[in-house]
Structure 1
Amino acid sequence: MVIDSRLKAVYEGTSASDAEQRLLTEQLAASMAPDEVHDVLDGACTLIYMFMTWLRKAYEDNERDPIEHVVPDLVATMRMMPRSVRPEVIPTMAGMVVAAGTGLSPNLWRKQYGDWTQEEMNPLEATAFLLAEHINRITGDREFATRMISRALASVQPE
């Protein structure tokens, strides 16, 4: 939902200020138990994996390398976002996207390097946002990525 609301704000040319968005995010995180925060983090990694799986299939269907077309665009865009994405975390995000693009879960990939840090939270969200926007751009449909995730969630059978 966060990704969807950010995409809509960008497409419509409206958005809350960074300070307002940060305050809302902090309030949400403060209202959660530690295991719930971990679940949200896992959810963000799952979104990144699903987006990269879709992108990999789409690019491979056109005989193109998804890593070659997604990662440079992602890195270049993150470099233009120095207030939200510190330069030193860009390689981590790029590595995670490459791992996801080759079929490795971002959660499993990250376990090799320890826990996520506070400094990586905004870049993680930005990565999911940028991948969703990339999907929307190549499909020509501003809601494609959101619909794709909604359909996937709707198809999950309850345990």
Structure 2
Amino acid sequence: MPSPCDPEYAPIGDVSTALMMIDSRLKTLYSGRTTADPGQQKLVDQYTASMTPQGARDVLDGACTLIYLYMKWLRMAHEEHGRDVVEQVVPSLVTTLRQMTRTVAPEAVPTMAGLVVSSAMDLSPSLWRKQYGKWTKAEMTALEATATLLAEHINRVTDDQDFATRLITDALTRAEEGEPDED
């Protein structure tokens, strides 16, 4: 019996915009700056200010899709080496989120851990979260941080600062061209 949280039933959302936001955060991390490039941040701020409520929900679903895809890639990579992705990824993610006390509310950390674990179990993170009610404001920053940390983890594992972004852009390109995913 299929789960109501099966990714087949999940909205994909605006993955491109979510990826743009995550890529911007990654570039800031890798530049050594503590704040985003002012020009890039201005573009992100202008875009987010112009979003409709539906547009914001679409970006939120897009961020969940990124988390799902990143965890799918990490799960496959860990399974190749006989390791459990939950055991290897979740503890360090939770520790890092807990250390981000100025940006990530403590009450959002368990939800982010649940999103990542649901993704590792091949469930839709957005549908998993939906069963607990509406998203909270505290979870918005935590969601962006979670997607960014997973992307950075992938980049570190592959020793390529653009790998996680390229992983998604390649998948989007294949989807637009109607090609099957490479699993």
- For the Cα contact (< 8 Å) 1:48–1:131, is it kept in 2? yes
Q: In the alignment, what sits opposite 1:31?
A: 50
Q: 1:75 to 1:121 in 2, by over 3 A?
A: same
Q: In the alignment, what sits opposite 2:152?
A: 133
Q: In the alignment, what sits opposite 1:116?
A: 135
- For the Cα contact (< 8 Å) 1:136–1:145, is it kept in 2? yes
Match of 1:150 among 169, 172, 178: 169
The letter for the 1-side match of 2:104 is: V
The letter for the 2-side match of 1:44 is: A
Q: 1:26 to 1:132 in 2, by over 3 A?
A: same
Q: In the alignment, what sits opposite 2:26?
A: 7
Please tell me whether residue 87 in structure 1 is matched to residue 87 in structure 2. no
Q: Percent identity among equivalent residues?
A: 58
5+ residue gaps, structure 1: none
The letter for the 1-side match of 2:55 is: E
Whole-angstrom distance in 2 between the partners of 1:150 and 1:15: 26
RMSD (Å) for aligned C-alpha atoms: 2.2
Deviation at 1:16, TM superposition (A): 2.5
5+ residue gaps, structure 2: 1-19, 179-183
Q: 1:24 to 1:120 in 2, by over 3 A?
A: farther
Q: In the alignment, what sits opposite 1:59?
A: 78
Whole-angstrom distance in 1 between the partners of 2:169 and 2:23: 11
- For the Cα contact (< 8 Å) 2:104–2:141, is it kept in 1? yes
Deviation at 1:6, TM superposition (A): 1.3
Q: Which runs of 4+ in 1 moved over 4 A?
A: 20-27
Q: In the alignment, what sits opposite 1:16?
A: 35
Deviation readout 1:37-68 (Å, 9 max, x if unpaired): 11101100000000000000000010000000
Deviation at 1:157, TM superposition (A): 3.0
TM-score (norm 1): 0.91
After the TM superposition, which residues 60-75 of structure 1 pair with which residues of structure 2 at under 5 Å, given as runs?
Answer: 60-75=79-94
Please tell me whether residue 106 in structure 1 is matched to residue 125 in structure 2. yes
Q: Secondary structure at the match of 1:156?
A: helix
- For the Cα contact (< 8 Å) 2:24–2:40, is it kept in 1? no
TM-score (norm 2): 0.79
- For the Cα contact (< 8 Å) 2:115–2:128, is it kept in 1? yes
